[in-house]
Structure 1
Amino acid sequence: MTNSTSQAEIVRQSLKRRYRKERRFRAYGIAAIAVALLALVTLFTDIISKGYTGFLKTTVTLEVTLDQDLMFLEDATDDKALRMADFKAPLLAALQKEVPQATSEREDQRALNGLVSSYATNELKDALKADPSILGTTQTMTFLASDDVDVYVKHKGDTTYSIKLSERQQQWADQLVEKGVIENSFNDVFFSHGDSREPGNAGVLGAIVGSLLTMLVTLFLSFPIGVSAAIYLEEFAPQNKLTDFIEVNINNLAAVPSIIFGLLGLAIFINLFGMPRSVPVVGGLVLMLMTLPTIIISSRAAIKSVPPSIREAAEGIGASKMQVVLHHVLPLALPGMLTGSIIGMAQALGETAPLLLIGMVAFIVDVPEGFFDSATVLPVQIFLWAGSPELGFIERASAAIMVLLTFLISMNALAIWLRKRLERRW
C-alpha cells in the first residue's frame, strides 16, 4: 500500500513538473510574440508619425497681377521675351499685398521671396506660355510654399524639427495661415513628380515607374526560367552527381547576400557586355539572378506536392511523360509556383544593395518612359532621401517607405489569396 501510494505521488509530482514546463514554454512563446508585435508596432508608429505629413503639401494662394511693365514683357507668345522676363516681381508684389508691413527694402523682399518655392517663377512662366491672353490680368494662383515654410507650418512647436525661418518670417507665415493664404492640402505633387533638389517639389512617380519597369523585366525572365528549371530537375533530370551538385548550389544561392548579385551584374552585364548603367533592363537582370533560386525551390516544392497517383493515372491511359507534366502536374502545381514567385518578386522589390552597384543610385528627375531610360527604384529613392540633410526629405523618405510597404503587403496578400483560392487539397 505504501509503495503504491509513493508511486502515485511520484507520478503526480512528475506531472506537475511537466505541466509547469509546458506553461513556462507557452509563456515564453507568448512573450516572444508580444515582443515581436511591440517591435512591429513601434516601427510602424515611428514611420507613420514621421511620414504622414509627407502626404500633405503647403501652398500659398495669391492674387497675382501679370503687369507687363513690372515683368518687362510685351508679348507672351515670344519665347525669347519669356526667357528674359522678370517673373519674380509680380510674385513679390502679390506677397506685399498680403503682408503690408513688409517694406520695399532688399532684406524684406528677400524674406518675402523665401515664403514661396523657387519653382513658383517657373509655374508663372508655364501659365503664361499655356495661355498668353492672361498677360495684363489679375489671376488667382496657387504655388508651393518654400521648404522652410512647409516645415514650419507642419511642425510648429515640435522641438525635434529645427525651424529655419526668421522670427519675422514666422510672424508673416502665421498671419498668412490665419488669412487662409497658406494652407495644407493633399500632396498630389508627391505622386505626380520625379525627384527634385527641393523637398517640396520631389515625388515618387519616377521611382514607382522605375520599380515597375524593373519588376516587369525580372518577372518575364525569372518566372519561365525558374519554372522550366524546376520541372526539368524534378521530372526529367537523372539522379547523379551532377544534378546533386546543381541542387546544392541552387539551395546555397538562395542564401547568398544580395550585394553579391550586384557585383555579378556589374561584372557581367556592364563591364563585360557594355550595357548602360542605371536602366531598368540591367536592374531587372540583376534581380532576376537573385530571384531565380527562390522561384526554383518553391516550384520544385509545388511539383513534389502533386500526388504520384496523378502521374500514374495519366500514364495508365497512355499519356507521354511530357503530356503528364504539361497537362496534369503543371496545372496542379501552378498555384504554389505563383505563390513562390510573388514572394520572390516582393523580396526583389525591396532590394537596394544590388541596384546601388549598377548605378541606379543616380539623381533622376525625369520619369522613365522605357526599359533603357535612366531610372531609379523606390528602395534606392528612400536611401537617397534618408541621407539628405534637409528635413523635408526625411518626411518624404518616411512617406515613400509607407508607399513601398503598401506594395509589399499587397503582393504578400495576393500570394496568400492565390494560395487559398487555387490550392487543391488531396
Structure 2
Amino acid sequence: MTDASNTQGEVIAKNEHRELGLKKRYSKERRFQVMGITAIILGVLFLLLLFLSIVTKGYTAFQQSKIHLDLYLSGEVIDPSGNRDISVIQMPIRYNKVLESAIYKALGIDPKDKTKRNEMRVAKSLLSKGASVDLRDIVVENPDLIGTRIDYWALADGDVDSFVKGQIPRDIPENMRKVDDAQIAMIDKLVADGDLVKKFNSNLFFNGPSSRPESAGIAVAVMGSVFMMLIVLVLALPIGVAASIYLEEFAPKNRWTDLIEVNINNLAAVPSIVFGLLGLAVFINFAGLPRSASIVGGLVLTLMTLPTIIIATRSALKAVPPSIREAALGVGASKTQAIFHHVLPLATPGILTGTIIGLAQALGETAPLLMIGMVAFVKDFPATPFDPATALPVQIYMWSGEAQRAFTERTSAAILILLAFLALMNISAVLLRRRFERRW
C-alpha cells in the first residue's frame, strides 16, 4: 500500500514538474513574441518619424513664391540698336532695369522721386537675382516680344520665399531676421493685392545647380544619374549574367573557383568608398578618363554592382529544378542549349530582380562619386557621358552643406525624389518577379 502511494506521488510530482516546464516554455515564447513585436513597432515608428521629418522639411520646396509684374519689354533698354543682336539681347543687366521699373509700378513707387531711393532699394531686394536670367531666356527664345507688354511672374528672393512660407517668423526682433520691416510691409502689400503667390516650383525639376536656392534644381544631377545607370545596366548585366552562368553551370568545382566565389561574396561587402579609390586610381589616374564625368561614375558603380548581380543570378539559376536540365538533356539538347533555352528563361525573374536591386543600390551611392570628383559645381547639362556631370545623391550632399534656409528644404525635397526613384525601382522588381515567377 505504501509502495503504491509512493508511486502515485512520484507520478503526480512528475506531472506537476512537466506542467511547470511547459508553463515556463510557453512564457518564454510569449516574451519572445512580445519582444519581436516591440522591435517591429519601434522600427516602423523610427522609419515613420524619419520619413515625416523629411516630408515636413521638404514639401514646401515644391512651391516657390513669385511676384506678378506688368512688364514692358522696352526696345530702348533691351536692344537699343534694334538689330536683334543676340550678344546684346543676352545681357542680363538690361533685364534688371525692366524688372525694377515693373516692381516700382506694382508697389506704387515713383522712381523719379529722389526721396524714394531707400524704398526703391528695398523693392529691388524682393526680386531674385535669377529673375533677370529667366526673363532673358524667354526673350532670347522669342525676340518678337521686344517692344511688347507681358504679364510675368518673377522669382522672389530666397529669403522672401522663406518668409512667405512661414519659415522666418515676423514676431522676432528685426535684427534677428533676414527680412526687415520695410520688406515685410511691401510683401504684405503684394500679397494683399494678389501679386505675390506661391506657385509650383518647376525650377526644382528643370534647372541645374545654382548659388541662389530659388533658382536651384536637380535636372543636371538627374541627367548625370541617368547616364551612369545606363552604363551600369549595359555593362553589369551581361558581364554579371555571363559570369554567373559560367560559375554555376560550367566551371569545374576546385579550389580556384571556390576562391573566386569567396572573393565575389567579399566584394559585395566591401565599403563603397573603396570602389571610389579604385576608380580614381585606375580610370582617372591610369586610363586618363575625364574627372567628374558620368563615364567614370558608371564604371565605378558597375564594379560595385557586379557582385550583387552575380550572387542574385547564381541564386536564380540554383532555384531552377534539376529536372529541367535533365529533361532537356534527355531529349538530345546540348548542355549549352539546356542552359540558354530552358534554365536561363526560367531564372529570368530572379535575374531581373537582382539587377534592379543592384541598380537601386548604385543610384543611392554617394561616397565613390565623391572620390572621383563628381562633387564639382556643374551647371551645364551633360550631352554625353564624357561631359562633366554630377549625380542626385551628390547634389543632395552639396545642398546639405549650404547655410541658407531655403537649401534645407530643397535638400529634403531632393531626398524625397530620390526615395521615389528607389521605391519605383523596388516595386518594379517585385512586380517583375510576380509576373514571370513560376512555382514548382
The two structures have a TM-score, normalised by structure 1, of: 0.95
Give the superposition deviation at 1:130: 4.0
- Asked if the contact 1:68/1:136 (under 8 Å) is kept, the reply is yes
- Asked if the contact 2:78/2:89 (under 8 Å) is kept, the reply is no
- Asked if the contact 2:273/2:368 (under 8 Å) is kept, the reply is yes
Greater CA drift, 264-273 or 95-104: 95-104
Query: Could you list the runs of 5+ residues in structure 1 that have no partner in the other structure?
Result: none
- Asked if the contact 2:308/2:358 (under 8 Å) is kept, the reply is yes
Q: Which amino acid aligns with 2:162?
A: V
What corresponds to 2:420 in structure 1? Answer: 406
What corresponds to 2:5 in structure 1? Answer: none
Residues 227/70 of structure 1: CA separation in 2 closer, same or farther (3 Å cut): closer
What corresponds to 2:307 in structure 1? Answer: 293
Residues 323/248 of structure 1: CA separation in 2 closer, same or farther (3 Å cut): same
Q: Deviations over 1:149-183 (max 9, x none)?
A: 11111125659x97411111011112111111110
Give the share of equivalent positions with the same residue, in percent.
50
What corresponds to 2:136 in structure 1? Answer: 125
Instruction: Give RMSD over aligned pairs.
Output: 2.0
Hey, what's the Cα distance between the residues in 2 that align with 1:276 and 1:418? 37
Give the superposition deviation at 1:364: 1.0
Hey, what's the Cα distance between the residues in 2 that align with 1:155 and 1:249? 54
- Asked if the contact 2:130/2:212 (under 8 Å) is kept, the reply is no
Map 1:266-345 to 2 at 5 A: 266-345=280-359
What corresponds to 2:125 in structure 1? Answer: 114
Q: Which of 63, 74, 91 pairs up with 2:99?
A: 91
Residues 123/410 of structure 1: CA separation in 2 closer, same or farther (3 Å cut): closer
- Asked if the contact 1:147/1:198 (under 8 Å) is kept, the reply is yes
Larger radius of gyration: 2
Greater CA drift, 62-71 or 86-95: 62-71
What corresponds to 1:141 in structure 2? Answer: 152
The answer to whether residue 229 in structure 2 is matched with residue 215 in structure 1 is: yes
User: Match of 2:94, SS?
Assistant: coil
Query: Could you list the runs of 5+ residues in structure 2 that have no partner in the other structure?
Result: 1-7
Give the superposition deviation at 1:204: 1.0
Greater CA drift, 72-81 or 345-354: 72-81
Hey, what's the Cα distance between the residues in 1 that align with 2:108 and 2:257? 82
Hey, what's the Cα distance between the residues in 1 that align with 2:429 and 2:297? 23
Give the superposition deviation at 1:253: 0.5
- Asked if the contact 1:151/1:392 (under 8 Å) is kept, the reply is yes
Residues 267/381 of structure 1: CA separation in 2 closer, same or farther (3 Å cut): same
Residues 76/308 of structure 1: CA separation in 2 closer, same or farther (3 Å cut): same
Q: Which of 17, 31, 48 pairs up with 1:10?
A: 17
User: Match of 2:46, SS?
Assistant: helix
Q: Deviations over 1:102-144 (max 9, x none)?
A: 8654432221111111122233334444444444443221111
What corresponds to 1:186 in structure 2? Answer: 200
Hey, what's the Cα distance between the residues in 2 that align with 1:61 and 1:414? 42
Hey, what's the Cα distance between the residues in 1 that align with 2:225 and 2:232? 10
Residues 123/425 of structure 1: CA separation in 2 closer, same or farther (3 Å cut): closer
Q: Deviations over 1:263-283 (max 9, x none)?
A: 011111111110111111111
Hey, what's the Cα distance between the residues in 1 that align with 2:345 and 2:191? 62
- Asked if the contact 1:306/1:329 (under 8 Å) is kept, the reply is yes
Q: Which of 378, 382, 387 pairs up with 1:364?
A: 378
Q: Deviations over 1:171-219 (max 9, x none)?
A: 1112111111110011111111111111111111111111111000001
Residues 311/68 of structure 1: CA separation in 2 closer, same or farther (3 Å cut): closer
